[in-house]
Amino acid sequence: MEILEEMTDEALAMRYVEGNDQAFDILLERHQEKVYAYILFVVHDRDKAEDLFQETFVRIIVKMRQRHYQPTGTFSGWCLRVAHNVVMDWYRRLRASKIVEQENDNDLSRLAGVNTERNREHELVKEQVLADVKRMMFLLPPSQREVVYMRFYQEMSFKEIADATNVSINTSLGRMRYAILNLRRMAKKNGITLEL
């Protein structure tokens, strides 16, 4: 008898498609934190993120039950692509209703821990640099902000980013390049040092 907890995500997904509900429970446990963190980063609102998270996993279940999941990439990347599509649909609905709210809470400190260093002075400098980068990230266009977040906060490869956002690897690399150029330009304009 196979032990589900030891199976790969892709094998568990196929077991769920075949009707094993316990396999999906394990997948949900493995990926819920990453998917929720991504959604929260994009929408900046915990209540809305929870709604979109629920919608994302409902959509994942429906797609899997309809056999739309194929284990050609990582299951995690596929989940993030579904989450991305759910968030983009939400943005489209907002735009269509002409109600777009700017959130004031742009603090990402709850998403990424800061490593302790040898001395407190270095820690303070590092914290300030990270805070400056996070503030500037929210001034980037959404597509650039998204790729920076996926790359540096979720440690995704450019292939995974491309799969999750449904663009080519070259497009995701280009977005990162422009994001870095924009961050450097903003830092220079505001006299911010981005070195640790």
Instruction: Read off the tokens for 174.
Output: 């280009």
Mean per-residue pLDDT for 48-68?
89
- pLDDT value, residue 39: 92
- pLDDT value, residue 92: 83
Mean per-residue pLDDT for 2-12?
86
- pLDDT value, residue 30: 92
Contact predicate 49/39, CB 8 Å: yes
- pLDDT value, residue 115: 43
Q: Render pLDDT for 109-167 as a digit per residue (tens, 0 to 9).
A: 444 444 434 566 667 766 777 777 777 888 888 888 888 888 877 778 888 888 888 88
Instruction: Read off the tokens for 24.
Output: 């999906």
> How far is Cα 126 from Cα 109, in angstroms, rounded to an integer?
13
- Give the C-alpha distances (Å, rounded to integers) separating 97 from 39, 66, 116, 167: 21, 31, 45, 27
Q: Render pLDDT for 21-39 as a digit per residue (tens, 0 to 9).
A: 898 899 999 999 999 999 9
Contact predicate 153/80, CB 8 Å: no
Q: Is the pLDDT of residue 71 over 80?
A: no
Q: Is the pLDDT of residue 99 over 90?
A: no
Q: Is the pLDDT of residue 45 over 80?
A: yes
Percent of the chain exceeding pLDDT 70 equals: 80
